[in-house]
């Protein structure tokens, strides 16, 4: 989707836009702290360019168009070769037009295209002399940059020494991963500093920081390299290598590239294949531990690059395909405190509405009170909000330099907002002391949902009726309901009563994994409940397990295991009621773990047709699988001895590709992963599927 240009109606609006854009660019490239988010900046610059096209006689010398870093920054260390920016396209039509211009310029089709993620960090050049890292320089204005060599030793992926004593310059992005960003903000706030608004500003500020009392870790990914003009060693041959081989060489020398990530650079020969790869990288954006704001497409051949040439701002053989913005700046209007089904008290940000990634965002998660305090959030703050795909929007932090002094502290609740009881503040996530009893309706409604006990006919309205009339106090009470009690409810006739009682009776036979999911044990979900159930096989063995035994389940660590043990102890009365009511407490196909068994204990001796396989399901299922939800498909995979996954990678053993499967199938084909149709998969797990039916 093309980013719309700002509408500049007259010379005054044009001049104001230039001033705003240059100030924003200066802040962005210097520290990452810009008053404009990426989308707003792109709109403004496109508006400036449009005005200049329509009024060529009025172009200002201060205009950011055609300049590296918008012409807003300078440096004092000359680059050996200009360190240019990239021009942008925002969709298929613009990209196709750009490709045509490149091929007209070189007089033939481009041999191959390299497609790689556009990392959202600070561009730097790292100079190595005989294999030793001697200097780090920022992009600056493209001709000269700032010396930031003091940051050497703090950047993962940029070794002090290469694996061979070569002389060359590596160019790439310094960024912070999500984990590094969280650590950096913790360190910064503990030392009295304002929190960074986002990982990019954290990286840009940290690279330049010289006199801090603390150091934070960053990560480097190379996107290119070149030899110095007088180099006669191994690096000297690089000028003739395709871009893809240059990256391979850099990787062999010990420098990080994106090759080992979920979005490695890939070389394709057809323009259509570029679009496929763009879609693949975009689909993985939410799963990456670092930020990307687009995809870079480059002519791979050195000859093609030379023939296309470069302008004053950007090479003509490379382009950045920008993705829809997932970060925006907006105002924090208020904080709401909501109580979940387990009694957890969760803060939610109320925002001035802002469009992010195609949807209007008015609320965002704030995690917990400790997170609010650490980020020093205040009502009235301009905040950076992040959203990608279907992920719930989150507030990354305040844009502290935009504060006016009128912002107010966020008031934390002293009593439970749901029931007025005391609050347990001993952990990061606060919780009502009444736990699940605080929000009975939410707890029961969750337990009877489709992916838990799957009791049809028990919507929230009906659950409220049952609770208000005193017929149920937890979901175990559902199994003791009588027909006369249900008939006394509003709009409950004989047929609906019989149907509901039949659904409740049927729910007694659900596997242990679904009962565990319905209990809503903190630290678990549907997938983890299945792993726990398959490991222990019975509720009796699970309840007898200590934290060390629970840690044997894949994905449960030293912090989560004691929480699960404590939760099961707290839920003991409810579990006892379920057992008394005749609810199943075993997992079909699982056997109890032998003494001293490892994490995969609990699998049946004949582990199943998918034993040891990682399986991904995509597209619409048909045939025998048509009526199964995605959760039921995952259950089926794990009962057959496999492991369900949501993304295709080198570790994927099998892809079940239904109707409408797209990028996941294409990635599986490129990786050589085995692909089966829904019917073929149904044949593989036929015996288990018959049990499901």
SS (H, E, C) 41-90: HHHHHHHHHHHHHHCHHHCCCCCCCCCHHHHCCCCCEECCCCCCCCCEEC
Does 203 share its domain with 305? yes
The per-residue pLDDT for range 578-596, each reduced to its tens digit, is: 999 999 999 987 877 766 5
Q: What angle do CA 206, 124, 60 make, to 5 degrees?
A: 100
Does 468 share its domain with 377? no
Q: Is residue 341 part of a domain?
A: yes
Does 137 share its domain with 224? yes
Q: Is residue 687 part of a domain?
A: yes
Q: Is residue 142 part of a domain?
A: yes
Q: Is residue 633 part of a domain?
A: yes
Does 220 share its domain with 300? yes
The verdict on pTM exceeding 0.75 is: no
Does 236 share its domain with 105? yes
Distance of CA 199 to the CA centre of its chain: 13
Q: Is residue 585 part of a domain?
A: no
Report how far residue 444's alpha carbon sits from residue 468's, in angstroms, rounded to the nearest whole number: 13
The pLDDT assigned to 605 comes to 43
Does 160 share its domain with 290? yes
CATH of the domain at 368: 2.40.50.140
Does 547 share its domain with 675? no
Say how many domains are in the chain.
Answer: 6
The pair of three-digit structure tokens given for residue 429, joined into one six-digit string = 């996530």
The per-residue pLDDT for range 66-83, each reduced to its tens digit, is: 655 555 555 678 998 999
The pLDDT assigned to 604 comes to 43
The per-residue pLDDT for range 640-655, each reduced to its tens digit, is: 888 888 778 888 999 9
The pLDDT mean for the chain works out to 86
- Residue range(s) defining the domain that contains residue 458: 434-507
Nearest Cα residue to 567 out of 618, 612, 528: 528
Nearest Cα residue to 640 out of 613, 620, 616, 658: 613
Does 276 share its domain with 158? yes
Q: Sheet of 168-175: strands edge to edge?
A: 132-138, 122-129, 168-175, 218-226, 155-156
Cβ atoms of 366 and 377 within 8 Å: the answer is: yes
* Least confident range of 396-400, 411-415, 673-677: 396-400
**Is 118 assigned a catalytic role?**
yes
Q: Is residue 588 part of a domain?
A: no
Choose one of 379, 402, 424: the last residue of a domain.
Answer: 424
What's the first-to-final CA gap in the chain, in angstroms?
Answer: 44
Would you say how long the chain is, in residues?
693
DSSP 342: T
Does 150 share its domain with 285? yes
The pLDDT assigned to 287 comes to 79
Does 362 share its domain with 465? no
Choose one of 480, 507, 534: the last residue of a domain.
Answer: 507
Cβ atoms of 376 and 186 within 8 Å: the answer is: no
- 118, 322, 328, 387: which is the annotated catalytic residue? 118
Q: Can you tell me the mean pLDDT for 212-224?
A: 90
Q: Is residue 591 part of a domain?
A: no
Q: Is residue 603 part of a domain?
A: no
CATH of the domain at 666: 3.40.50.10190
Does 411 share its domain with 439? no
Choose one of 277, 303, 322: the last residue of a domain.
Answer: 322
Does 489 share its domain with 406? no
Query: How are the residues of the chain apportioned to helix, strand and coil, as percentages rounded to the nearest 5?
Result: 40, 20, 40
* Least confident range of 28-37, 289-298, 492-501: 28-37
């Amino acid at each position: 989707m093309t980013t719309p240009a700002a509408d500049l109606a007259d010379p005054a609006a044009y001049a104001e836009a230039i001033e705003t854009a240059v100030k924003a660019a200066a802040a962005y490239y210097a520290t990452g702290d810009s008053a404009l988010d990426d989308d707003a900046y792109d709109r403004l610059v496109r508006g400036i360019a449009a005005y200049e096209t329509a009024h060529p006689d009025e172009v200002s010398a201060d205009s950011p168009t055609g300049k590296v870093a918008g012409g807003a920054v300078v440096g004092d260390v000359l680059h050996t070769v200009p360190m240019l920016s990239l021009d942008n396209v925002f969709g298929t039509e613009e990209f196709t037009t750009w490709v045509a211009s490149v091929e007209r310029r070189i007089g033939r089709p481009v041999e191959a295209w390299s497609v790689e993620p556009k990392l959202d960090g600070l561009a730097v050049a790292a100079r190595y002399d005989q294999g030793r890292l001697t200097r780090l320089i920022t992009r600056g204005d493209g001709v000269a940059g700032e010396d930031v060599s003091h940051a050497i030793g703090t950047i993962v992926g940029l070794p002090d020494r290469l694996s061979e004593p070569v002389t060359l310059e590596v160019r790439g992005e310094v960024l912070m991963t999500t984990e590094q960003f969280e650590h950096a903000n913790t360190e910064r706030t503990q030392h009295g500093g304002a929190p960074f608004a986002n990982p990019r500003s954290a990286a840009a500020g940290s690279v330049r920081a010289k006199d801090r009392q603390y150091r934070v870790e960053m990560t480097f990914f190379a996107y290119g390299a070149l030899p110095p003009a007088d180099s006669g060693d191994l690096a000297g041959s690089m000028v003739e290598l395709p871009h893809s081989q240059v990256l391979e060489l850099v990787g062999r020398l010990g420098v990080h590239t994106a090759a080992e990530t979920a979005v490695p650079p890939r070389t394709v020969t057809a323009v259509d294949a570029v679009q496929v790869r763009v879609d693949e990288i975009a689909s993985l954006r939410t799963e990456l531990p670092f930020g990307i704001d687009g995809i870079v497409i480059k002519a791979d051949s050195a000859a093609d690059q030379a023939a296309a040439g470069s302008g004053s701002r950007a090479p003509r053989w490379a382009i950045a395909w920008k993705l829809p913005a997932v970060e925006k700046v907006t105002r924090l209007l208020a904080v709401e405190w909501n109580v979940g089904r387990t009694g957890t008290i969760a803060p939610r940000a109320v925002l001035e509405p802002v469009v992010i990634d195609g949807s209007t965002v008015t609320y965002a998660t704030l995690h917990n009170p400790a997170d609010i305090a650490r980020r020093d959030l205040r009502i009235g703050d301009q905040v950076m909000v992040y959203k990608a795909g279907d992920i719930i929007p989150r507030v990354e932090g305040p844009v502290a330099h935009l504060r006016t002094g009128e912002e107010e502290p966020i008031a934390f609740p002293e009593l439970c907002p749901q029931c007025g009881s005391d609050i347990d503040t001993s952990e990061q996530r606060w919780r009502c002391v009444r736990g699940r009893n605080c929000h009975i309706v939410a707890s029961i409604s969750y337990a009877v949902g489709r992916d838990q006990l799957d009791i049809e006919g028990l919507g929230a309205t009906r659950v409220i009726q049952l609770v208000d009339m005193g017929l149920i106090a937890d979901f175990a009470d559902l199994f003791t309901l009588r027909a006369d009690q249900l008939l006394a409810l509003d709009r409950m006739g004989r047929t609906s009563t019989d149907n509901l009682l039949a659904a409740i009776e049927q729910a007694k036979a659900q596997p242990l994994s679904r009962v565990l999911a319905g209990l809503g044990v903190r630290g678990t979900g549907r997938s983890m409940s299945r792993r726990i159930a398959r490991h222990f096989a019975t509720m009796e063995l699970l309840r007898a397990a200590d934290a060390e035994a629970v840690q044997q389940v894949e994905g449960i660590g030293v912090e989560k295991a004691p929480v699960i043990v404590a939760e099961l102890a707290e839920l003991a009365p409810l579990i006892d009621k379920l057992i008394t009511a005749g609810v199943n407490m075993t997992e079909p196909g699982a056997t109890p773990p032998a003494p001293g068994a490892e994490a995969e204990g609990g699998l049946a001796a004949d582990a199943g047709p998918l034993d040891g396989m990682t399986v991904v399901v995509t597209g619409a299922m048909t045939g025998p699988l048509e009526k199964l939800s995605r959760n039921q498909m995952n259950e089926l995979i794990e009962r057959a001895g496999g492991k369900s996954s949501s993304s295709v990678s080198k570790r994927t053993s099998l892809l079940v590709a239904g109707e409408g499967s797209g990028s996941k199938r294409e990635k599986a084909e490129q990786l050589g992963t085995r692909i089966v149709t829904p019917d073929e998969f149904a044949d593989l797990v036929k015996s288990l599927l018959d049990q499901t039916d």
